[in-house]
Amino acid sequence: MGEDTDTAPTLNHHGFLPDHNYVTEADIISTVEFNHTGELLATGDKGGRVVIFQREPESKNDPFSQGEYNVYSTFQSHEPEFDYLKSLEIEEKINKIRWLPQQNAAHFLLSTNDKTIKLWKVSERDKRPEGYNLKDEEGRIKDVSTVTSLQVPVLKPMDLMVEVSPRRVFANAHTYHINSISVNSDYETYMSADDLRINLWHLDITDRSFNIVDIKPANMEDLTEVITASEFHPHHCNLFVYSSSKGTLRLCDMREAALCDKHSKLFEEPEDPSARSFFSEIISSVSDVKFSHSGRYLLTRDYLTAKVWDLNMESKPLETYQVHDYLRSKLCSLYENDCIFDKFECAWNGSDSVIMTGAYNNFFRMFDRNTKRDVTLEASRESSKPRAVLKPRRVCAAGGKRRKDDISVDSLDFTKKILHTAWHPTENIIAIAATNNLYIFQDKLNSEMH
């Protein structure tokens, strides 16, 4: 969705995963993340698996194949565990994946479930050594007395193999469930946040971490808020932000103190007393926070809105976007079916000019910050044949006037929700997780224009 187009984005659908109609709990995608170049895309699911997709090189014969992502590697990242001290089962579900910037031929990523963070190395092998002196072709050790001459082992070409190996396991540092991890711009440290604490880790040290935020009260009955998400600043390694269930954002500076319980800045929108209701606190809880690529802005998502904050203005958001305001009259039933507690994520495009976030009925929303235009699109098999153009959708509020092709708010499917989305770091390519399907769309019009 670019600045130069008057039409809705022309998005091409490139495929989805996995290809079956029934949904098992383990197949539900729980996180989506592009690497720093956008050439790789990783998804994690509730079954503890990570699937990595690689972008195919552009084909001269088929210009439409540009941007096609195919499965590169699949591996089991986490297994279900049992905490015997607390008699609690620890789910294998992958909560977050974060890529490390590439330093050599191999790729590294961090993946986490509720308790344990793992660092994985993803590398390629297309040669194998042959001609050992002390081993036979099967790898068995030879009898030394049979070795009569020495030979120099050689590397022979073989079919490309993608190897994934665990390099570090960062465990036993969180009492509560980990909700976010973020790699620092120094590329040496990262942080992990749970409901009440944030820890700082060195990527090479697994047996200790530093606690940098602790909001746990002495008496748990005094608990009024929890940490919902956190992220490092993209350029300043001393700054990070965390959001809370009360709708506040706290910017912290690690230069000020070792324990950042006192924030540098507090971003909070004053509540409108006339709009207060039983659901006010629940719907104001921030489910995701993301720094813009420039580092100047913060994007947050609560239940009904997406907001853009300027780091230099704490009193109110710079921009507020209504994601699905037509649900305001449905909050009672959404509370009863627990949907009101859904945690939607949000994403910036590469130039920070467009934001994206998910909604119900497999809809996702895009807002252009410059033109103030917005669009609702649907990620579904029916409307998304390869190279098909996505049609904008429109939801009609209860009792409102319906136009042709409008969808009534009463007919929305709340079991189909888009919680996880990702935007390619430089191009108009987006990844949308819709239950157990991964959709990859490309804005062809803008790719050709820019």
pLDDT value at residue 403: 74
Q: Name the nearest CA neighbour of 230 among 186, 312, 177, 287.
A: 287
pLDDT tens for residues 39-84? 999 999 999 999 999 998 876 556 555 668 999 999 999 999 888 8
Answer whether 384's CB lies under 8 Å from 393's CB.
Answer: no
Whether 11 has a pLDDT exceeding 60, the answer reads: no
Q: What is the pLDDT of residues 212-242, one digit of tens each?
A: 999 999 999 999 999 999 999 999 999 999 9
Is pLDDT at 356 greater than 50 in this prediction? yes
Beta bridge partners of 443: 11
DSSP state, 147? -
User: How many Å apart are CA 349 and CA 338, to the nearest integer?
Assistant: 30
DSSP 8-state class, residue 336: H
The pTM is what? 0.87
**pLDDT tier, 283 (very low <50, low <70, confident <90, very high otherwise):** very high
Q: Which of 83, 3, 62, 9 is nearest to 364 (CA)?
A: 9
Instruction: Give the CA distances from residue 224 to residues 179, 216, 219, 220, 383, in Å, rounded to whole numbers and listed in that order.
Output: 18, 10, 11, 9, 44
Dist CA 161 CA 378 (whole Å): 36
pLDDT at 401 > cutoff 70: no
Quick one: pLDDT band at residue 22, thresholds 50, 70, 90? Answer: low
**Higher-confidence position of 388 and 5:** 388
> In angstroms, rounded to a whole number, what is the distance separating the alpha carbons of residues 431 and 355?
13
- Residue 383: which of 423, 424, 439, 448 has the closest Cα? 439
The pLDDT tens digits for 110-146 are 999 999 999 999 998 877 778 788 887 777 888 888 8
Q: Which residues contact 165 (CB under 8 A, 6 or more apart)?
A: 120, 121, 123
- Whether residue 437 contacts residue 418, with contact meaning beta carbons closer than 8 Å, is answered with no
- What pLDDT was estimated at residue 143? 82
Coil, strand or helix at 396: strand
Please determine, for residue 19, whether its predicted confidence score (pLDDT) is greater than 50: no
> Does residue 394 or residue 418 have the better pLDDT?
418
Q: Which of 67, 32, 94 is nearest to 438 (CA)?
A: 32
Whole-number pLDDT of residue 106: 93
